[in-house]
């Protein structure tokens, strides 16, 4: 086999070449002539590529520069028409106007924020109707001694008891150490003869019956809680004494609830 033909049949990657025998004939020479291009043709292609490549690069760069120039002329206004309205940052004649505009904008923003805060806080304040319901005055002069009246405040019953001297003594003689919710009578009243309590049982919220029960105060018929003449729990499932609502004496016999 001819050396040129053995070159084209060289194994790739170290693989073993199959054993094939060839005869050195005229056919081999014609085949090699067709596979291997003539040397002058190779030199011509190399010369052509070395001369054409720089020209292509110059053409591409020229077109890119032309495109960039077109973009600049389109968007950056090369005639500088906008310069006539431009204000320099250090222009003293325009500085006062700039300060005036900035100051006015800040004042407007501050005023708007202040109004928004005032409106928000005002919406959280209680209205006149709500305030009227929150407090209530009651005249005690019509309540006879030893009796109890029920008034309504904030949708809840309020017990007002005009206690006698005997009832006051009985309430003060109680040993508070034996009570479920220890409280002396003195801390539950502002004036000894007047007891003001919330008429809601501390067990499950029922309304107790006045002047009833084993201790002469209140009795809850729902589950059998007994309260004494000071509204303290003495017997039954209720865990706490009757609640004392916020009140104050505005006159000798007139109170303000709330």
Q: Does the pLDDT at position 170 exceed 70? A: yes
Q: Which residues contact 128 (CB under 8 A, 6 or more apart)?
A: none
pLDDT at 1: 47
pLDDT above 90 as % of the chain: 36
Q: What is the mean pLDDT of the segment spanning 108-119?
A: 86
Q: Does the pLDDT at position 164 exceed 80? A: yes
Q: What is the pLDDT of residues 197-226, one digit of tens each?
A: 999 999 999 999 999 989 999 999 999 999
Q: Does the pLDDT at position 59 exceed 80? A: no
Which residue has better confidence, 19 or 175?
A: 175
Q: Does the pLDDT at position 56 exceed 60? A: no
What CA–CA distance (Å, rounded) separates 151 from 139?
A: 11
pLDDT at 37: 52
Mean pLDDT across the chain: 76
Catalytic sites, residue numbers: 223
What CA–CA distance (Å, rounded) separates 115 from 18?
A: 97
Q: Does the pLDDT at position 52 exceed 90? A: no
Strand partners, 249: 255
Query: Does pTM top 0.85 for this prediction?
Result: no
pLDDT at 246: 92
Q: Are 197 and 242 in contact (CB under 8 A)?
A: yes
């Amino acid at each position: 086999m001819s050396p040129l033909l053995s070159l084209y049949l060289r194994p790739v990657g170290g693989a073993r070449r199959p054993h094939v025998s060839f005869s050195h004939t005229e056919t081999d020479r014609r085949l090699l002539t067709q596979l291997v291009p003539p040397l002058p043709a190779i030199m011509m292609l190399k010369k052509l590529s070395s001369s054409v490549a720089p020209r292509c690069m110059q053409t591409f760069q020229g077109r890119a520069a032309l495109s960039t120039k077109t973009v600049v002329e389109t968007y950056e206004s090369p005639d500088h028409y906008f310069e006539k309205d431009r204000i320099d940052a250090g222009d003293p004649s325009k500085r006062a106007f700039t300060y005036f505009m900035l100051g006015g904008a800040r004042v407007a923003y501050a005023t708007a924020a202040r109004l928004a805060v005032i409106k928000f806080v005002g919406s959280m304040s209680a209205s006149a109707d709500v305030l009227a319901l929150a407090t209530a005055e009651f005249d005690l002069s019509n309540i006879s001694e030893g009796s109890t009246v029920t008034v309504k405040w904030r949708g809840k019953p309020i017990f007002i008891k005009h206690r006698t001297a005997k009832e006051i003594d009985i309430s003060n003689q109680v040993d508070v150490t034996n009570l479920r919710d220890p409280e002396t009578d003195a801390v539950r009243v502002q004036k000894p003869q007047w007891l003001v309590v919330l008429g809601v049982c501390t067990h499950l919220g029922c309304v107790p019956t006045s002047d009833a029960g084993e201790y002469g105060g209140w009795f809850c018929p729902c589950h059998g809680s007994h309260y004494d003449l000071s509204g303290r729990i003495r017997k039954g499932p209720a865990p706490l004494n009757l609640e004392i609502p916020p009140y104050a004496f505005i006159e000798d016999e007139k109170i303000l609830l709330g």
